[in-house]
Amino acid sequence: MKKSQIAFCALLALCAAGRVHSAPADVEARVEATLARLTFDEKLGQLWQFSGGQPSEAASSDRSKGTLDPKFLEAVSAGRYGSVIGKRGLENYNAIQRAAMDGIGIPLLIGHDMIHSATTTYPIPLALACAWDESLWERTASAIAVETLALGCNWTFTPMLDVALDARWGRIAEGGGCEPLVTGLMGAAMVRGFQGADMSDGFHIAACAKHYVTYGASFGGRDYNAVEMADSTLRDVYLPPFKMAVDAGVATVMPAFHSYNGVPCSMNSYLLRDILRKELGFDGMTISDWSAVRELLNHGVAGNKADAAVLALNAGIDMEMVSDCYVTTLKAAVDSGRVSMKTIDDAVRNVLRVKYRLGLFDRPTLDAAALANAIDPAANRALARECARKSCVLLKNDDGALPLKKGVKVALLGDLAANEWQMLGCWSTRDLSNFANATLLAGLKADGVDVNYVEAYTLTGRVDLAAVEAAACGADIVVAAFGDYWENSGEGNSSAILELKGDQMKVAEKVKSLGKPLVAVVFGGRPMAFPDLAKTADAILMAWNPGGCGGWGLADVLTGLAEPWGRLTVDMPYATGTCPLYYSRTTTGRPAAITANHPFGHRYTSCYNDAPFVALYPFGYGLMYTTVEYSGEKAVVEGDSVAFSADVTNTGAREANELVQVYVRDEVARIARPRRELKGFKRVALRPGETKRVEIKVPVASLGYTVDGRYAVEPGGFSAWIAPDSDSGRNLHFEISAK
């Protein structure tokens, strides 16, 4: 395969920035000089990430506090580890690096999962994706980077670039949703934010693109499960975000836990050497996932730790996370010729290269004062509030139920409405001292709302209907928290039931039976199936896990202090059984349509007989407090690009921030293609009554696909839609001619 055969080359034209760091000219020479002075054991040390050596108070909730065991520091000095995992605090970071520099003279990579939180907690990545805002993604990553350093880490295992089509998969919370372009743009922006223009400037950290690759397609949405997939799907859907992260200069890549077409990603040389290194041009370091090298035994492809080490290293895993197959067995593997010395040296080179690029040799310790100076907790909280505002998605708003009118009496119900912990999300800091009391209740009060809070029910428990009734009767409008707890999404949290649990619908029905308007604020780390709530509630705001300042951001939207901004980057299903569900599904020979006579689609077409096969709310969807109209849509081929344009008019009474989206379909292709694919988007601000002509240029080169191992744009007819979501818009047509 040549690079030019990778499907997404043209998507990259949409990704504004190039590499974010340029390696100093002498990096390679310094890598060679360092490598040359290492003993074999020291080389193996560089290939291990150790999970022990936690501070003495590691058992407490805050692992960044406490002192280090001198024996651990001795091992660091002796070069037993190339890296350690876990935050140990800035003083301990400096102690580790001093020990390393005084000993073997090679500083450590110190990594931790700062996914959407180091000290300040931002919304989960799935929520952040719904902001469709590269600047916001970059600013957030940059703020997390400085806080990460202050906690004593120089490396984060983010961004997660797994395109996720299946809401049952709990890790859908950790990425950008079901769309390669959005996921890739967000990933690249986060790499730029974490690593800065110069990763070695003392205020940035190394990023890690994970989980390479296709993890989001695990069978049945079950975590760690196997994946079988056509090469064309790998290339057209799952690789593009990784390509975009590599082009943004991501320092490290983490292969996924699962097996791809039978070969675990941790020993998959096709993925790691042929594609990642040769095609994508990645020259950083790879790290296995947690004990994934030893797990090759569980996959049934290695008989013992020695086999596992040989398979993983030869396939291209440079550093082993946690398990110790490399350090305990590779000496014998080299002696017996199963692994070459060159393979070991190349892996060490990759590790050293990242350490040099990160500036660790020149600045091994952190400057506490400079970092403290660079962190403005109030600014970070303001950013977290902005993120929460921009991530939530208004799904329904009948009769202008929202924004809350000035002076109305609000009854606020549900345990989640007054629970700070539940705002956080799957990878948040657990350090309670960082919390900012940003519940929905606190946010509404701070925004001046006359609010009466009554718990009345918990999400999974029983409802006190008398309490619901009393609260509702004493109010003009009811705002109630629905959804799921964040602990039910994220890693190891696959779910076979996405419907609302407990008595949540009884609450909704009770409120409606009293004739009171109901605003449902739905929390959760994944798309959920709530068709009944969608019928019953007057308004629905999808809040996700909005982070440590979440309640404030949500309140800003509910009260209208901020306009709704978020648009879905996943499809919301009618029922769990319709998952995996994604707007870009492949066309079929018997396409289904939903009509008045056939609410689920006609029998003998590709549908279910007991639930709609389409989304309850589709990808790209999200309302504002105003309305817009599209007219004069055009798709005109102009040389190497297609210019999509439309007049967009704000027909309502409030400001609009319309997200104009472009979808394309190849009308007659050599293989069945997605019914629509997102090719571009632009946010446009419109005053009431204002019209703007919006133009989005899409490179022709991005309109192709992979077939027979070759990526090509085929001449012929294309359909296009310039639309506010993936289900609407007028069908346009344009032709690509043969060159």
The reply to whether 51 sits near ligand NOJ by the rule CB under 6 A is no
Helix (H, G, I), strand (E, B) or coil at 326: helix
CB nearer ligand NOJ, residue 113 or residue 166 = 113
Helix (H, G, I), strand (E, B) or coil at 483: strand
Position of minimal CB gap to ligand NOJ: 157
How many residues appear in the chain? 739
Using the rule CB under 6 A, which residue among 289, 295, 503, 727 binds ligand NOJ?
289
CB of 63 to ligand NOJ, least distance (A): 12
How far is residue 225 from each of residues 14, 259, 262, 583, 657, measured CA to CA in Å?
33, 8, 11, 23, 40
d(CA 343, CA 316): 9
CB nearer ligand NOJ, residue 323 or residue 504 = 323
Selecting among 113, 289, 503, 666, the annotated active-site residue is: 289
CB of 430 to ligand NOJ, least distance (A): 14
CB nearer ligand NOJ, residue 148 or residue 397 = 148
CB nearer ligand NOJ, residue 116 or residue 516 = 116
**φ and ψ at 707, to 5 degrees?**
-145, 140
The reply to whether 210 sits near ligand NOJ by the rule CB under 6 A is yes
- Looking at residue 479, its amino acid is V
Q: Which residues, at least 6 apart from 484, have a Cβ–Cβ distance to it below 8 Å?
A: 459, 501, 523, 524, 525, 526, 528
CB of 559 to ligand NOJ, least distance (A): 37
CB of 221 to ligand NOJ, least distance (A): 16
CB nearer ligand NOJ, residue 42 or residue 113 = 113
Q: Are 729 and 672 in contact (CB under 8 A)?
A: no
CB of 290 to ligand NOJ, least distance (A): 4
Pairing of strands 477-483, 409-413: parallel
What is the C-alpha radius of gyration for the chain, rounded to an integer number of angstroms? 26
The reply to whether 113 sits near ligand NOJ by the rule CB under 6 A is yes
- Tokens representing residue 514 in the block: 């009293």
Residue among 595, 643, 408, 526 nearest 129 (CA): 526
The site for ligand NOJ, by CB under 6 A, has a size of 6
d(CA 423, CA 430): 12
3-class secondary structure per residue, 628-665: EEEEEEEEEEECCEEEEEEEEEECCCCCEEEEEEEEEE
The reply to whether 50 sits near ligand NOJ by the rule CB under 6 A is no
The reply to whether 491 sits near ligand NOJ by the rule CB under 6 A is yes
d(CA 233, CA 211): 16
CB nearer ligand NOJ, residue 87 or residue 381 = 87
CB neighbour class for 298 (10 Å; exposed up to 12, middle 13-18, buried from 19):
middle
Q: Show the CA angle centred on residue 605, arms to residues 604 and 610, nearest 5°.
A: 85
CB of 258 to ligand NOJ, least distance (A): 10
CB nearer ligand NOJ, residue 274 or residue 491 = 491
The reply to whether 224 sits near ligand NOJ by the rule CB under 6 A is no
The reply to whether 318 sits near ligand NOJ by the rule CB under 6 A is no
CB nearer ligand NOJ, residue 427 or residue 711 = 427
CB of 289 to ligand NOJ, least distance (A): 5
d(CA 217, CA 194): 27
Provide the 8-state DSSP code for 217: G
CB of 158 to ligand NOJ, least distance (A): 8
Using the rule CB under 6 A, which residue among 157, 356, 630, 705 binds ligand NOJ?
157
Using the rule CB under 6 A, which residue among 93, 290, 523, 663 binds ligand NOJ?
290
Q: Compute how many other C-beta atoms are within 10 angstroms of the C-beta atom of residue 219.
A: 11
Q: Which helix (H) or strand (E) holds 183?
A: helix 180-195
Q: Is 198 a catalytic residue?
A: no
- Chain residues binding ligand NOJ by CB under 6 A are 113, 157, 210, 289-290, 491
Residues serving a catalytic function are 289
